[in-house]
Amino acid sequence: MIDDARALLATGPLCDPCLGRPFADRSFGLTNAERGKAFRVTAAMDDDEPYDPPEPDACWVCEGQCDRYDEWADRVVDALDGVDFATYQVGTRVPPLVEENDRLLREDAGMDPEAGELFKSAFNREVGKRVGRATGTEVDFERPDVVALLNLERGDVDVQVNPAFVYGRYRKLERGIPQTEWPCRECGGSGVQLGDDGEEDCDHCGGSGYLYEDSVEELVAPHVRDAMDGTEAVFHGAGREDVDARTLGNGRPFVVEVKEPRTRRPDLDELAAAIDDAAADRVEVEGLRLATHGMVERVKEHPASKTYRAQVEFARPVDPADLAEAVPTLDGATIEQYTPERVDHRRASRTRTREVYAIDAAPGDDGRTATVEVHGEGGLYIKELIHGDEGRTDPSLAGLLGVDAEVTALDVTGVEGEDEPFEDPDYFVEDEE
């Protein structure tokens, strides 16, 4: 190693960190600067020569950058001022000449070009640990709250604030509200159409650009965005209910993803209250928790079973005994459903099989109505299970009774994970002490 150190010193003036980096894998607990100084002192003593301390700015490899760790850390702290974060990562755009010098240093000394630690990794680490000490935060190489990118050529710091996530469940108490914004198909969401006298308000949407005035997304997401002082909010739901269906019971899981938040830990009780107050008994939320990025995929992909309550009207009176005989046939049955006619324009046309886990029905007093409760596999079309969709769903309640049926009102009363609940603790941000 002493011979290698002498060979490195022979390449030109080196600072201690650049001299020590090729030996970064030796002796845990030392900095590269300490390794470099140790080799420089040892070589001077072995050669019985005066110790000649380095001039950092004269280093031909890093051109003095290794003497500026503190300066760069201060720049990062200043760039992050006003941003709420608990984890961070530092990255560096290294000038091509410095990267080339870093490689030539080892090659000119006859060493492995990858020996020890490369300049970029060392610079990230040295600046990063100073940022952590200054801010009381922790480095995270997977999904940090913020990323500070140092540009050594320009001398500036670019800050990337990664999204924050809030999980909860919503109840939709009013019919006629879609889950997400529903742009008008006629005008493409622009609100205008070409008329005889040029552009005019779209007749289909009245110039709003949307088919519905409000949505669960619009009633929830902006409040989360504002509470986190973000630039944008994206709503992710665990499936969706029909526009004319309510969501009651324990509600439907959702995640709001907030882009570039400056506050990552809002008061969730205040946030829930603000959403409920603004939604005015149309939508309400509960169980708000700070979540991780993984929760987005979980609510979108995690298999869920759902429980429904349907108000059904038959085309003619149905004998309660016939209803009591037909319902058990569907209990535990595997249902084949060809893409329903009402969604055929936006879903692939194919036959899907879904399970009915449990079903019960209570006839109305007039014989023409019934209340049907169904617990089924995610993706089971409940309306079609009732009316049969002209034979596209088999078996169906209407088909078994031999009478046309219509769902006059539908409520979702429960949404649960098939194998495990959505509220797995691994998908939430730990509460601060």
| Residues with catalytic roles | 242
Q: How far apart are CA 283 and CA 318, in angstroms?
A: 36
Cβ atoms of residues 189 and 207 within 8 Å: no
In 3D space, the residue among 182, 171, 251, 245 whose CA is nearest the CA of residue 210 turns out to be 182
Is the CA virtual torsion 422, 425, 430, 433 positive or negative? positive
Q: How far apart are CA 428 and CA 381, in angstroms?
A: 31
In 3D space, the residue among 64, 251, 60, 66 whose CA is nearest the CA of residue 168 turns out to be 251
For residue 275, count other CB atoms closer than 10 A to its CB.
22
What are phi and psi for residue 376, nearest 5 degrees? Answer: -135, 170
Q: Which SS3 state, helix, strand or coil, does residue 165 take?
A: strand
Beta partners for residue 195, in sequence order: 198
Residue that is written with structure tokens 């969501």 in the block: 247
Angle at which helix 2-9 crosses helix 96-108, to 10 degrees, equals 130
Pairing of strands 245-259, 405-417: parallel
